[in-house]
Amino acid sequence: MFFSKKITIATHSGNFHPDDVFSVALFSILFNGKIKVTRTRDEFIYSKADFVLDIGEELDPDKKRYDHHQEGGAGKRDNGIPYSTFGLLWKDFGEKVCGSKRVSDIIDSRLVQVIDADDSAYDLYKINLPDVYPYLLTDIIYSKSPTWKEKNISLDKAFFEAVNFAKSIILREIKVETDKIEAEGIVEDIYNKTGDKRFIVFEDSHLSNSLLSKHKEVLFVIKPEKDGDNWKITAVRDDERIFTNRKLFPEKWRGESNLELAKITGIGDVVFCHNSGVFAGAKTREGAIKLAQLAVNSN
């Protein structure tokens, strides 16, 4: 797709939502910022745009019309989440923006489907505690709308501020997932070369523990702290979004530090063990390994 001029995009005026905000942000990335956006509900005006998004009750990619408000909607994914405009655009342009189908698919699951679900009133989670809710990315977008006391702030100005924020999120997710995929090969090589696979040592503090989740025998990860000289041992989870660890540090270690923890473990350079039992620290790599060896063999 090649355009020699600035691309004109039309979307609805009035209150904005994560769907239209992220749709415009996606096109800003796709066309390297060379877009002109009009927010209107005037059919005569929006019909002249190169792309019409989230308005017009028409889905026709050949005509560059992307809406999901028409009778019957614009289809659903296999998991039941209906497509909003952002999801429809991501299906057509996500891979091009990401430079990788795999990255595009990951971001679709992590980000795009969340936006689509919000716009379609599709519940993604259950509330465990009354009046306590997750604070989601969609909440941040909604918070950018002027309040009833901010009548001097135009909706268009707030909309474009939200678009810039959404653009930064998309670009960051692309960077994070692209780098994570590259790291997978590094982590897999470390795993394959490790003898006792119940604990794995990373020499690079930036490598993510979650990359080992598929290897069920790994209980702990050891790596240097990012902002200090100590070494940290962390319990591994099956799912980084669920606070359930495969194994915790012994109960008698928890909440102890320095001399007291050294007396209990027999390791002189231990620093602490968190009272939750999910991570501990030592001053040296060798001390951290000894601590992990004790932990994996504990009851």
pLDDT in tens, 229-245: 899 999 999 887 778 89
Q: Which of 15-19, 35-39, 234-238 has the lowest mean pLDDT?
A: 234-238
| pLDDT reading at 4 higher than 60 | no
Give yes or no for residue 297 having a pLDDT over 60: yes
State which amino acid sits at residue 164: N
Residue 3 phi/psi, 5-degree rounding, is -130, 130
Query: What's the pLDDT score for residue 102?
Result: 97
As given in the structure block, the two tokens for residue 258 are 């320095």
Evaluate whether 54 touches 196 at the Cβ level (below 8 Å): no
What pLDDT digit, counting tens, does each position of 242-291 carry?
788 999 999 999 999 999 999 999 999 999 999 999 999 999 999 999 99
pLDDT for the residue 185? 93
So where are the chain's domains?
7-177, 195-296
Q: Which two tokens stand for residue 56?
A: 């017009």
> What is the sign of the dihedral through the CA atoms of 213, 218, 221 and 222?
negative
What is the secondary structure of the chain as a DSSP string? ---SSPEEEEE--SS--HHHHHHHHHHHHHTTT-EEEEE---HHHHTTSSEEES-SS-EEGGGTEE---STTTT-B-TTSPBP-HHHHHHHHHHHHHHT-HHHHHHHIIIIIHHHHHHHTT------SSTT-----HHHHHHHTS--TT-TTS-HHHHHHHHHHHHHHHHHHHHHHHHHHHHHHHHHHHHHHH-SSTTEEE-SSTTS-GGGGTT-TT--EEEEE-TTSS-EEEEE-BSSTTS--BS----GGGTT-BHHHHHHHH--TTEEEE-TTSSEEEESSHHHHHHHHHHHHT--
